[in-house]
Amino acid sequence: MSGISVNGMKPRDNTVLYKDKDPLHQKDIDARDVGTPDDWVPRHPDLVRLTGRHPFNVEPPLPALMEQGFITPASLHYVRNHGAVPKLEWDSFRLSIDGLVDAPKVFTMDDLVKMPAREIPVTLVCAGNRRKEENLRKQTIGFNWGAAGHACSVWKGVLLRDVLLECGVKTPDDGANHVCFVGAESMPKGRYGTSINWFTAMDPACDVMLAYEQNGERLTPDHGYPLRLIIPGYIGGRMIKWLTEISVTEAESDNFFHFNDNRVLPEHVTAEIANAEGWWYKPDYIINELNINSAIAYPAHQELLPLEGDGQKYTVKGYCYSGGGRKVIRVELSVDGGENWTLSKLTHPEKPTEYGKYWCWCFWELEVDVSELMMGENTELLCRGWDAAMNRQPEALTWNVMGMMNNSYFRIKVHRCLHPTTSKPALRFQHPTLAGPGNFGGWFEELSLGPAEAKS
C-alpha cells in the first residue's frame, strides 16, 4: 500500500496521507535509555524529554512537528508514559471483556483483526499541552509541556461497540452505565485505568476504537503495542495504551488514576486542599473532551527576519484543534495587542466523517505587512481559535493545580535588533516558552525568572 484515502479524504497535491514506512523510523537505542527499564525501545533522538531519562514523556520540537504536515510519523508523535513500557507479544496478548455482558470473552489479536476495521485520522492531545505557561505563573503538580504535546495519525482498529456487541453488552436499563478500561502499565499506585459512559462507547458517531495500527503499521511500544484505546475528540489521558481489560459496569471506574489525574479544579484548590477536601472525586471537574486551542508555529522561536524595506510581507502560520468532533471555524491574528483581529486562511486536510465529526487538527496562515510589526516597542503576535459551538480561546490563562487545558491566547513577542551576521536591521521573534525543565529563553520564562543572560 502506497497510501490511503480515508473518510472520503482525497490526498492533497497528489501526496498520500502516510507512507509505507515511517520515514523517521528508529532502530537504535538512545543512549539516555541505557540502564532504564526501557532500554529495548528505539526512540527518535530529537524528541524533547520532559521528565529526564525515565519515564519517557516527550514532545517534538514544534517546527519538526509542523514540517511533517497533517500526518505525524509515529517516531515524532508525543508520548505520555507513567512507568516502564510493558513488553507484550502479539501472539500471546489477550484482551478480556466482562461485567454487564451476556457472554464474557477473551480476544486474541488475531480475533480482533478479523473483525470489521475502521481506519480514520485522529489528532491526539495531552491535556497538559502548553502547561509550562501555567507552571511559570505558579507551579502545578505536572511537568513542562510546551505547545507540541499533540500529533495526528491514521489509526486502524475495531470499533469498541462492535466488540461489546459481540459479547452481548447490556444497556443502561440493565444498569450498564459505564465502560472501564485497564492497561498493562504497572506503577506503585497500580495499573493505569479509566472509564467512559456507555453512550459514548456505543455511539457509532463517536468512533471509539481499539486500535492496532498507526499510519499503516502495527503500533510501536511507546504507543501501546499491540492494542490501545482511541477516543476521538477526547484528551489523550483517556486513551489507555497496552489495553488488556474492558469491563461494563454500573459505576464509573474506581481506578486511582481515573480520579487523581485529568481534572481541572478551581483556581483556589491546591494539591493539599484537593486531598483534604476530596476535590478529586467531585464529578464536575473531570476532563473528557478537548477544548479549543491554537498556537503560532511560524515565525519560530528566535527566528530572525531581515528587514527589506517598504512592501515586505511575512506569512504567519500555525495550528488549531478542538474537541468533541467540533469543526474549527476560524483562527484570528492580532498584531496590535488584541485591539484588532484579522481572519486567517484555514486549511482542513480532513473531510468530516459520515456523522459530521472533525477529529483532526487544522492549519492556518495569514500574510501580514512587516511594517505593522514595527509600530511599537512591545509588539506582539496573538492568535485565537473558534469552533463550531462558538467556543473561543480566552485572553488569559486560568491556573489549575494539574496545569491542564491551558488554551489562552498564544503570544509571540517581536523585537527589533541587528542581524548578527549582516549588522543590518532585523526582527527577532520570541515564543512564550520552550518545552522541558532545562530549556530557557521564552519571553514568559524571562518574565517569571529573569533575563536569559542572567541565567547563563
The closest of 259, 302, 342, 322 to 427, measured between CA atoms, is 302
Cell of 163: 466488540
Distance of CA 419 to the CA centre of its chain: 35
Determine the residue type at 116. Answer: P
Q: What is d(CA 348, CA 324) in angstroms, rounded to the nearest whole number? A: 16
Q: What is d(CA 221, CA 210) in angstroms, rounded to the nearest whole number? A: 16
447, containing H or E segment: helix 443-449
**Are the C-beta atoms of 405 and 292 separated by less than 8 Å?**
no
Indicate the SS3 state at residue 134.
helix
DSSP track, 169-218: B--GGGT--EEEEEES---TT---EEEEEHHHHH-GGG--EEEEEETTEE
Q: What is d(CA 446, CA 456) in angstroms, rounded to the nearest whole number? A: 12
- Is the dihedral angle over the CA atoms 429, 431, 434, 438 positive or is it negative? positive
109, containing H or E segment: helix 109-114
Q: What is d(CA 202, CA 165) in angstroms, rounded to the nearest whole number? A: 9
**Are the C-beta atoms of 381 and 366 separated by less than 8 Å?**
no
Q: What is d(CA 437, CA 98) in angstroms, rounded to the nearest whole number? A: 42
**Are the C-beta atoms of 408 and 394 separated by less than 8 Å?**
yes
Largest distance between two CA atoms of the chain:
76
Q: What is d(CA 275, CA 30) in angstroms, rounded to the nearest whole number? A: 38
Q: What is d(CA 151, CA 138) in angstroms, rounded to the nearest whole number? A: 27
Q: What is d(CA 361, CA 122) in angstroms, rounded to the nearest whole number? A: 8
Q: What is d(CA 73, CA 273) in angstroms, rounded to the nearest whole number? A: 41
Determine the residue type at 230. Answer: I
Q: Is 172 exposed, middle or buried (0-12, 13-18, 19+ CB in 10 A)?
A: middle
**Are the C-beta atoms of 131 and 406 separated by less than 8 Å?**
yes
Give the active site residues.
Answer: 126, 261-262
